[in-house]
Amino acid sequence: MVRTPCCKEEGIKKGAWTPEEDQKLIAYLQLHGEGGWRTLPQKAGLKRCGKSCRLRWSNYLRPDIKRGEFSPEEDDTIIKLHTLYGNKWAAIAASLEGRTDNDIKNYWNTNLKKRLKQKGLNPITHHPINSTDQTAFEPPKPVGSSGSARLINRVASKYAVASNRDLLTEIIIRNSTFIANDSQNPGHIDSPTANSTNKMAAESSALTSILINTTSPSSAFSENCSFYDDFTDFFSNQEMSDMYKNVDSFEFMEELKGILSYGNAGAGDIY
DNA sequence: AAGGGCCTCAACCGCTATAGA
DNA sequence: CTCTATAGCGGTTGAGGCCCT
């Protein structure tokens, strides 16, 4: 399709916008509203292409744009949504009021990506770097699998060596409690078709089974782990999907990483 | 003080999607 | 259905500021 170039005409200014240009654009848009970007520059007295005007407005001048530092809550949201969406900046921006996709993209590339790397996580997959266990570290599936169960698989196979069994037990059970509570939240799951007590019992049972039966943890967790399988007996696909969206895997991961002997996995059993 | 390297982020580029004539 | 204008998206660039030597 042949398109008329929007920014290649003679006399079109490029580069940083001056305060005068901003004022002209704001004044015009306040008077006439958004739209008609192609003819806007001429009408507003700007030597810019329409696209440049639109971007300047939508990324910088719009009154509802939030500027300044990102809060820790926003950081968390971006990281979590990046796990789900990847580099879909517009989708991520939709969940952060006042932030533009450009802002988030820049912030990700300059801050969050580095932060994940420093924590030993691959910023693309969000999985621990240098993992060789592809079974346990497969990319997340958006539907039909439980984030928490999968996470436990990963954590267990990677970090269980030289870990403190009691702490691991406590954390996983707490995480299971969270899931059970979440299932009772009418905003998340349509109806409590499965008894949440049974769910917790199933999870605890699966967990106990894993912990008791695992004597060579690095392979046993991923190869023999029945945790995910047990989950599927008690949760519908929709519930699994909802759980995946809502379980706070990153907090969970961070907590585990702080406690387990991360990066120091030598030979040994869970003790 | 100078200058070189690094970092940040606004802006641009190229492309696709969508609406409407 | 085709074509054009516009909107939107994600990747990339480069100016300017900061920091370190």
**Chain B footprint positions (protein CB, under 7 Å):** 7-14
Report phi then psi at A128, rounded to 5. -55, 135
Q: Is A214 left (phi over 0), alpha (psi -120 to 50) or beta?
A: beta
Q: What is the DSSP letter of A121?
A: B
Distance of CA A197 to the CA centre of its chain: 29
Cβ neighbours for A66, distance < 8 A, ≥ 6 positions apart = A97, A98, A99
Scanning residues 47 through 106 of protein chain A, those with a beta carbon under 7 Å from any atom of strand B turn out to be 48, 51-52, 55-56, 59-60, 102-103, 105-106
H helix runs in A45-164, sequence order: 50-56, 72-85, 89-93, 101-107, 113-118, 147-159
Q: Angle at which helices A147-159 and A165-183 pack, to 10 degrees? A: 170
**Chain C footprint positions (protein CB, under 7 Å):** 3-12, 15-16
CA distance A243 to A135: 21
Quote the pLDDT of residue A172.
Answer: 38
Cα angle vertex A179, ends A199, A189, to 5°? 90
Asked if strand B contacts A4 at the CB level, meaning under 7 A, the answer is no
Asked if strand C contacts A51 at the CB level, meaning under 7 A, the answer is yes
Quote the pLDDT of residue A130.
Answer: 64
Dihedral in degrees, nearest 10, Cα atoms A238, A79, A225, A240: -10
Distance of CA A61 to the CA centre of its chain: 28
Asked if strand C contacts A110 at the CB level, meaning under 7 A, the answer is no
Q: Looking at this protein, which amino acid is placed at residue A243?
A: M
Closest residue by C-alpha to C1' distance, nucleotide C9:
A90
Quote the pLDDT of residue A16.
Answer: 83
Quote the pLDDT of residue A65.
Answer: 85
| CA distances to A126, A147, A217 from A131, in Å | 12, 18, 15
Asked if strand B contacts A236 at the CB level, meaning under 7 A, the answer is no
Tokens of A157: 């196979």
Quote the pLDDT of residue A35.
Answer: 79
Quote the pLDDT of residue A128.
Answer: 79
Burial A97-133 (b: 16+ CB within 10 A, else e): eebbbebbeebbeeebeeebeeeebebebbbbeeeeb
Quote the pLDDT of residue A9.
Answer: 55
Tokens of A58: 């939508």
Asked if strand B contacts A2 at the CB level, meaning under 7 A, the answer is no
Quote the pLDDT of residue A131.
Answer: 52
Quote the pLDDT of residue A10.
Answer: 59
Q: Looking at this protein, which amino acid is placed at residue A5?
A: P
The integer distance in angstroms from the CA atom of A126 to the C1' atom of C12 is 23
Q: Do the Cβ atoms of A188 and A182 come closer than 8 Å? A: yes
- Whose C1' is closest to the CA of A36: which nucleotide? C6
Report phi then psi at A89, rounded to 5. -65, -35
Chunked in runs of 10, what are the mean pLDDT values of chain A (271 residues)? 44 82 86 82 85 86 84 87 85 86 88 81 77 36 31 34 35 37 30 32 34 30 30 34 38 38 27 23
The integer distance in angstroms from the CA atom of A269 to the C1' atom of C6 is 62
